[in-house]
Structure 1
């Protein structure tokens, strides 16, 4: 007759619940996997499948009961860790969409907005273009698989225990959030430079020929130069996107390692 004690049942439950919370939090907050169009059942099912695969390779403190106060704190800890991983990856697409916003405003396309079902908001058309391009690059370089690999490695860098996360990890995460502006500016700088030169040329032309209607001439010229610069920029954006994606994956592991330093 097989007998199971309450201690064994609690340890088995802890071995499943704690990793499941981190995995589910990561999938819910990560790009592509965490889109609002993805059904909740698929997110939960994928989290359960990954937990079944990853959990046997983990070690959890046997004295942690998921129903206890310490177990509740560990669940909150795992929730924060999963959100930190997904948030770090999502900042890539936020920076790219911000670059598209800057480019669209500089080109005079601030009024050309469409509904973005991914973010449930209205987004300029250039931002949607760069966002779709970033998603395709992310999938083509197996970024979703690399992200899952980083999730599995996070359990080694920051194992499931009752250790209080270090505050420096949150500081590192906030510093990576500041990279939105630098990455967005780096992506949009060529278009900003080209449009600045064209605006200076239009300003000189207006001064030399005051009878010229600058609104009738400047808007088509700005659009043409903007689209031409974006077209020339697209082949060079892909290596930059790959560099940003690899940097974010490195940041994920660094944040998890700092989480484990109490």
Structure 2
């Protein structure tokens, strides 16, 4: 007859629950996994399968009663760590959407928007287009698998243990969020320069030939030039995105090191 003690039961439950909470936090915010098109049951099931797969490779877990307040605090801590790691990669895709906002504003397409179920708000059509392109590139370079491998590595850098996180780690997340504007502007800069030059030329034309209706002529020309430039620039952004993805993985590791106090 097989007998199981309460200590063994706690050890088995803790060996599954703590990594499960960290993985589930990543699933809530990370790109691709947090898409609303994926059902919540599928996300939870996938997180549970990953936790079961990696649990035997992890070190010993804290010996805590699963129903205690200490265990609840540890569970919340692991969820926060997973959410922070997912936000690092979410900023990468938010940067691409910001570039689309900049480009759409210069092209005169800022009024054209779609409802984005991922953010729950209206998103410019160019932001939606660039986000889909970046998502396809992310899948093509196996970015989702690399992101999960980085997550699994965080269990070695920041093992599951009772204690507080180093507050200096949150500074990494704040510093990384500055890429939202900097890299977004760099990605949109080629189109912004050309479109600003065209708008400047139309401004000079409006002063020299005031009988010409610049607004009626300028909008279709700006839109046409912007579309032509998009067909040239979009196929060339893959190196920029792959490099940005790599920097995102490094930021995830840097965040983990700082949270651990290393």
TM over 0.5: yes
Looking at structure 2, the residues matched to 187 and 51 of structure 1 have their Cα atoms a distance apart, in angstroms, of 37
1:133 paired to 2:133:
yes
Q: Any stretches of 5+ residues in structure 2 without a counterpart?
A: none
1:222 paired to 2:230:
no
1:10 paired to 2:10:
yes
Looking at structure 2, the residues matched to 98 and 148 of structure 1 have their Cα atoms a distance apart, in angstroms, of 25
Say which SS state the counterpart of residue 38 (structure 1) adopts. Answer: coil
Q: Residue in 1 aligned with 2:232?
A: 232
Asked if structure 2 preserves the Cα contact closer than 8 Å seen for 1:96 and 1:134, the reply is yes
State the aligned residue count: 262
1:110 paired to 2:110:
yes
TM-score norm. by structure 2 comes to: 0.96
The CA deviation at 1:62 is 4.3
The CA deviation at 1:120 is 2.5
1:65 paired to 2:65:
yes
The CA deviation at 1:58 is 0.7
The CA deviation at 1:236 is 2.4
Looking at structure 2, the residues matched to 216 and 138 of structure 1 have their Cα atoms a distance apart, in angstroms, of 40
Q: How does 1:88-237 map to 2 (within 5 A)?
A: 88-237=88-237
The CA deviation at 1:238 is 1.1
Looking at structure 1, the residues matched to 2 and 261 of structure 2 have their Cα atoms a distance apart, in angstroms, of 41
Asked if structure 1 preserves the Cα contact closer than 8 Å seen for 2:28 and 2:34, the reply is yes
Asked if structure 2 preserves the Cα contact closer than 8 Å seen for 1:202 and 1:214, the reply is yes
The CA deviation at 1:154 is 0.9
The CA deviation at 1:164 is 1.3
Say which SS state the counterpart of residue 161 (structure 1) adopts. Answer: coil
Looking at structure 2, the residues matched to 61 and 19 of structure 1 have their Cα atoms a distance apart, in angstroms, of 10
Deviations for 1:164-192, whole angstroms, at most 9, x for unmatched residues?
A: 11011111111111211111111111111
Say which SS state the counterpart of residue 237 (structure 2) adopts. Answer: helix
Q: Residue in 1 aligned with 2:43?
A: 43
Say which SS state the counterpart of residue 164 (structure 1) adopts. Answer: coil
TM-score norm. by structure 1 comes to: 0.96
1:28 paired to 2:28:
yes
Q: Any stretches of 5+ residues in structure 1 without a counterpart?
A: none
The CA deviation at 1:119 is 2.4
